[in-house]
């Protein structure tokens, strides 16, 4: 190109840039932040625009605005890119038009010019266009792989890149992408989106605009892809899985901002299949080898190494599901937690041989009459390695702890520490929820002990019979509490606050409140100021929101800060690490307190028998009786057999449960080994007699629960 031609081209580019900055490119919809047609563009007068562009020209290579990385020039408008013209175009023109996916990015606008963080897609028009495309493929006008080729050859220039997140969102709803044979298109689309963190972020904000139905539809499709690819051979599909899981992560981040589906919708069954155990180890290894089963231990080792060495999120060779904990259910996360604990323990000992020499277990010796002091002295003194599984010995009593003694110990210790007469916790009726007593006189070490007990329960697989609000688990995970958390404790109080905030009447006259709150200790009223000189500040219509915010913050945070920090310190002594922060508050509650949902049909499915068979008359009668129980009777029965009235995280179908024959028909009561979840059942022959004796056994068994 001659020097004159070069000057003419630069001049022409300047004029185009100036017109674009002052009047816009003329498109109905534009995402170019350097164009007046963009809805968030800050208008410039002609002189301001000229000055700005001239300054950019000085930094552009050879003064060429088209080569500048600081200014994006909109291409000339082609009238053929409107949907009306596309539908009316000749076959040859259609093929050319569909090579450029920006026909999607520039059309299907529902409300004219849009804000940069808005998708505002006309879904009806888009769905009609998908039907039009399907007809083109059926007629042979468009090749069957037109979309795959268009994505593969999408131009990577500054202007085209602006439309990638919006184009991706629209194309993901193309019906053909839900078909297995078109999953290669889904991968290419996800790969294009993952080529820039900025694309993923913008795409995630576009997802905010989707309603629940559309989000669920999109999520179902990508979950199915991941499930199939994982089971088809996890290690051979790592790059494909990586791109699609990062796309799914954008959906998850959007849902965290704008809640539409429960976080459990993001779990993936292919990742959360149960771990191997002694009984299924050979089957597990064969399946893992043949079907690509996820090995949690291996995943954690990859995660651990990459955390220490640094990693690139876009490198499929460095991929681990541990970097995406939202696909993991609470049970799988708890398995990761166990591995984390084992690795930390091995590092402390440095040599696995030493681990054998000093013992696999920590032994806790306690006296029943001095339970708290003995436990406190051993758990907080450093005498016991908290990361090792524990066995409990009640001094002066015979018996080997095969699990049952440990369960009894945890039940007894939490019963004592949570007893309202001990003054560490207040019991809120009728919810039967315990919350920290802000006026307690107990030492902070006792709260630290409770935290350690919770952590030990997790690592030792013991379900604790305690009821605390979700706020406890949010605070343990560093998640801010809100007025909804206070509502769980005291719904009537929050209802009063809501009325106070809504009323148009004079709050000062109606409520007569100041910036204080009152608590009681031994029938003595204690006044706490919510702010400096709070007793002298009246609550008015102008400051009522501040009053409510301070009241909620005091009750959930400020008023219990010291004792909660001690409690959290104890918990983190056992559970400190990366994995604990993968849990949602509700998942952490399930991990500690078990699942309140009892499905006894699941228990029946997994039950094993000794001396009976599944078809034995006694067993058939037994299950008929159990299924007829009330909810309260079912809880009592479960506690009789397992020591807890709650199921493990993933339900009753995940426990080991054995029914063993214990003699011929008689009037003897059934018994149980809670340490092994073994029920010893006489061979009853009469259903009515059996029901009477089973109920008698569960109603009169000794329990250590709080409820």
Q: What residues are annotated to the active site?
A: 675
Show the beta-strand stretches assigned E in 367-420: 390-394
The first and second tokens of residue 402, run together, are 């095969």
* C-alpha span between 631 and 140 (Å, rounded): 62
Residues in the chain: 707
The first and second tokens of residue 589, run together, are 């509650």
* Residue the block writes with tokens 């940069």: 116
* Residue the block writes with tokens 């993968």: 582
C-alpha neighbours within 13 Å on the C-beta side of residue 324: 25
Sequence-distant (6+) residues with CB within 8 A of 56 are 65, 68, 70, 71
**Residue 68 near residue 59 (C-beta atoms within 8 A):** yes
* C-alpha span between 542 and 507 (Å, rounded): 9
Sequence-distant (6+) residues with CB within 8 A of 126 are 108, 170, 173
428: left (phi over 0), alpha (psi -120 to 50) or beta: beta
Residue 340: phi and psi, rounded to 5, are -60, -45
* C-alpha span between 419 and 434 (Å, rounded): 9
Paired sense of beta strands 524-529 and 516-521, if any: antiparallel
**Residue 340 near residue 300 (C-beta atoms within 8 A):** yes
In order of 21, 34, 203, the CA distances from 41 in angstroms are 9, 7, 20
List the one residue out of 596, 616, 704, 703 whose CA is nearest residue 659: 616
The first and second tokens of residue 485, run together, are 């958390």
* C-alpha span between 108 and 483 (Å, rounded): 41
Residue 153: phi and psi, rounded to 5, are -110, 25
**What is the DSSP secondary structure assignment for residue 37, as one 8-state letter?**
T
In order of 3, 13, 48, 643, the CA distances from 67 in angstroms are 17, 10, 21, 73
* C-alpha span between 334 and 16 (Å, rounded): 60
Q: Residue 590 CB: number of other CB atoms within 10 A?
A: 25
Q: Is 681 helix (H, G, I), strand (E, B) or coil?
A: strand
**Residue 300 near residue 308 (C-beta atoms within 8 A):** no
The first and second tokens of residue 545, run together, are 């929101």
In angstroms, the first-to-last Cα distance of the chain is 87
**What is the DSSP secondary structure assignment for residue 29, as one 8-state letter?**
S
* C-alpha span between 706 and 590 (Å, rounded): 17
* C-alpha span between 394 and 624 (Å, rounded): 39
**Residue 588 near residue 476 (C-beta atoms within 8 A):** yes
* C-alpha span between 579 and 340 (Å, rounded): 7
* C-alpha span between 127 and 174 (Å, rounded): 8
* C-alpha span between 16 and 14 (Å, rounded): 5
């Amino acid at each position: 190109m001659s020097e004159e031609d070069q000057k003419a081209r630069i001049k022409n580019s300047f004029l185009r840039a100036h017109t674009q900055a002052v009047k816009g490119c003329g498109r109905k919809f534009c995402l170019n932040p350097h164009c007046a047609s963009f809805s968030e563009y800050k208008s410039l007068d002609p002189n301001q625009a000229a000055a700005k562009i001239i300054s950019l020209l000085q930094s552009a290579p050879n003064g060429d605005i088209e080569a500048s990385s600081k200014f994006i020039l909109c291409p000339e408008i082609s009238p053929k890119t409107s949907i009306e013209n596309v539908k009316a175009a000749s076959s040859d023109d259609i093929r050319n038009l569909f090579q450029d996916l920006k026909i999607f990015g520039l059309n299907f606008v529902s409300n004219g010019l849009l804000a940069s963080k808005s998708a505002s897609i006309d879904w009806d028009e888009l769905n009609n266009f998908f039907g039009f495309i399907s007809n083109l493929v059926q007629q042979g006008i468009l090749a069957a792989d037109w979309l795959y080729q268009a994505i593969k050859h999408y131009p990577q220039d500054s202007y085209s890149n602006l439309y990638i997140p919006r184009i991706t969102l629209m194309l993901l709803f193309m019906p053909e992408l839900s078909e297995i044979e078109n999953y290669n298109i889904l991968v290419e689309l996800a790969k294009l989106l993952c080529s820039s963190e900025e694309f993923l972020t913008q795409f995630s904000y576009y997802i905010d605009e989707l309603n629940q139905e559309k989000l669920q539809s999109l999520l179902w499709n990508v979950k199915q892809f991941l499930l199939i690819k994982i089971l088809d051979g996890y290690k051979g599909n790592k790059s494909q899985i990586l791109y699609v899981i990062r796309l799914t992560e954008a959906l998850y981040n959007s849902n965290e901002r704008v809640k539409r589906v429960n976080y459990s919708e993001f779990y993936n069954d292919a990742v959360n299949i149960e771990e191997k155990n002694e009984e299924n180890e050979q089957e597990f290894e064969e399946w893992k080898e043949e079907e690509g089963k996820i090995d949690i231990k291996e995943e954690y080792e990859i995660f651990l190494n990459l955390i220490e060495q640094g990693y690139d999120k876009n490198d499929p060779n460095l991929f681990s599901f541990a970097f995406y904990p939202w696909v993991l259910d609470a049970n799988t996360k708890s398995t990761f937690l166990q591995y984390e604990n084992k690795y930390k323990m091995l590092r402390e000992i440095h040599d696995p041989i030493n681990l054998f020499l000093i013992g696999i277990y920590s032994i806790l010796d306690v006296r029943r009459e001095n339970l708290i002091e003995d436990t406190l002295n051993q758990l907080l003194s450093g005498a016991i390695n908290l990361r090792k599984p524990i066995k409990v010995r009640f001094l002066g009593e015979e018996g080997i702890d095969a699990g049952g003694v440990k369960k009894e110990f945890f039940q007894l210790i939490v019963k004592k520490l949570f007893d309202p007469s001990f003054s560490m916790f207040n019991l809120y009726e009728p919810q039967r929820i315990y919350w920290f007593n802000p006026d307690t006189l107990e030492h902070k070490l006792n709260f630290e002990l409770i935290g350690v007990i919770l952590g030990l329960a997790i690592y030792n697989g013991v379900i604790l019979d305690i009821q605390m609000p979700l706020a406890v688990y949010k605070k343990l995970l560093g998640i801010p509490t809100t007025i909804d958390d206070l509502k769980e404790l005291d719904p009537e109080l929050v209802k009063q606050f809501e009325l106070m905030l809504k009323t148009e009447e004079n709050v000062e006259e109606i409520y007569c409140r100041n910036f204080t709150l009152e608590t009681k200790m031994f029938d003595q009223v204690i006044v706490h100021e919510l702010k400096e000189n709070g007793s002298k500040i009246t609550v008015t219509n102008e400051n009522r929101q501040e009053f409510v915010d301070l009241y909620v913050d005091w009750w959930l945070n400020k008023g219990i800060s010291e004792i909660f920090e001690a409690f959290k310190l104890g918990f983190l002594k056992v559970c400190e690490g990366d994995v604990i922060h993968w849990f949602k508050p509700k998942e952490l509650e399930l991990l500690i307190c078990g699942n309140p949902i009892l499905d006894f049909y699941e228990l029946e499915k997994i039950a094993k028998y000794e001396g009976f068979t599944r078809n034995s008359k006694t067993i058939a009668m037994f299950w008929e009786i159990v299924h007829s129980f009330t909810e309260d009777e079912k809880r009592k029965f479960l506690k009789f057999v397992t020591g807890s009235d709650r199921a493990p995280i993933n339900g009753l179908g995940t426990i080991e449960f054995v029914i063993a024959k214990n003699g011929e028909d008689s009037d003897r009561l059934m018994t149980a080994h809670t340490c092994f979840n073994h029920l010893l059942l006489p061979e009853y022959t009469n259903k009515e007699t059996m029901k009477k004796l089973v109920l008698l056994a569960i109603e009169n068994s000794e329990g250590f629960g709080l409820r």
